[in-house]
Amino acid sequence: MELSGEEKKLQALFSELKAADEQATPHFGATWNGAQISPRKTHALNPAFVAGMMLLVFGVVAFAVWSRYSRTTSSPQPVIANAPQNPGTTPAFETASRPAPESPLPKPKNAPIVARNKVTSQHNAMLAANRKLEKDAKSIASWTSPTSALLESPSDEIFSSLPELNQSATQLKSFLPSRSN
Amino acid sequence: MDIAELNEELEKLHSASFGWALSCCRRDHAEAEEVLQTVYLKILEGKARYRGESSLKTWLFAVIRKTAIGEYRKKLVRSLVFLGSSEKHEDGVSSADGPTRIFEKSELQKQFRIALAKLPARQREALHLVFYEDLSLSEAANVMGISVGSARQHYDRGKKHLREWLSHTETENGIVWRRKETPSAV
What pLDDT, in 10s, does the model give residues B120-171? 999 999 999 999 988 999 999 999 999 999 999 999 999 999 888 888 877 7
The tally of domains found in chain B comes to: 2
- In chain B, the percentage of residues whose pLDDT exceeds 90 is 30
Asked whether residue B8 carries a pLDDT value surpassing 70, the answer given is yes
Q: Which residues are bridge partners to A77 per DSSP?
A: A96
Query: Domain range holding B105?
Result: 97-186
CA distances from B130 to A1, B127, B137, B138, B176 (A): 12, 5, 7, 10, 25
- A9 versus A47: the higher-pLDDT residue is A9
Q: Closest Cα partner for A74 from A132, A128, A122?
A: A122
Asked whether residue A77 carries a pLDDT value surpassing 60, the answer given is no
Q: Which residues are bridge partners to A95 per DSSP?
A: A78
Find the CB nearest A34 among B37, B159, B181.
Answer: B37
Please tell me whether residues B7 and B92 are part of one structural domain: yes
Point out the domain boundary residue: B96, B120, B141. Answer: B96
Residue B99 in contact with partner chain A when CB distance is under 8 A: yes
Contact across the interface for B10 and A12, Cβ inside 8 Å: no
Asked whether residue A18 carries a pLDDT value surpassing 50, the answer given is yes
Please tell me whether residues B5 and B44 are part of one structural domain: yes
Point out the domain boundary residue: B72, B96, B120. Answer: B96
Q: How far is CA A149 from the centre of its chain?
A: 50
State the pLDDT at residue B102: 53
Please tell me whether residues B59 and B140 are part of one structural domain: no
B22 contacts in chain A (CB < 8 Å) = 21
> Could you tell me which chain A residue has the CA closest to the CA of B102?
A20
Q: Distance, in angstroms, between B167 CA and closest chain A CA?
A: 9
Q: What span, in angstroms and rounded, lies between the C-alpha atoms of B186 and B175?
A: 23
Contact across the interface for B100 and A23, Cβ inside 8 Å: yes
Please tell me whether residues B72 and B115 are part of one structural domain: no
Please tell me whether residues B86 and B12 are part of one structural domain: yes
Minimum mean pLDDT among A42-46, A147-151, A176-180, B132-136: which range?
Answer: A42-46
Find the CB nearest A12 among B10, B96, B185.
Answer: B185
Q: What span, in angstroms and rounded, lies between the C-alpha atoms of A135 and A124?
A: 17
Minimum mean pLDDT among A152-161, B68-77, B152-161, B175-184: which range?
Answer: B175-184
A18, A22, A38, A40: best to mutate for the B interface, most B CBs within 10 A: A18
DSSP 8-state class, residue A43 = S
Q: What span, in angstroms and rounded, lies between the C-alpha atoms of B29 and A23?
A: 12
Q: What span, in angstroms and rounded, lies between the C-alpha atoms of B60 and B17?
A: 8
Please tell me whether residues B175 and B92 are part of one structural domain: no
Q: Distance, in angstroms, between B91 CA and closest chain A CA?
A: 17
Please tell me whether residues B87 and B39 are part of one structural domain: yes
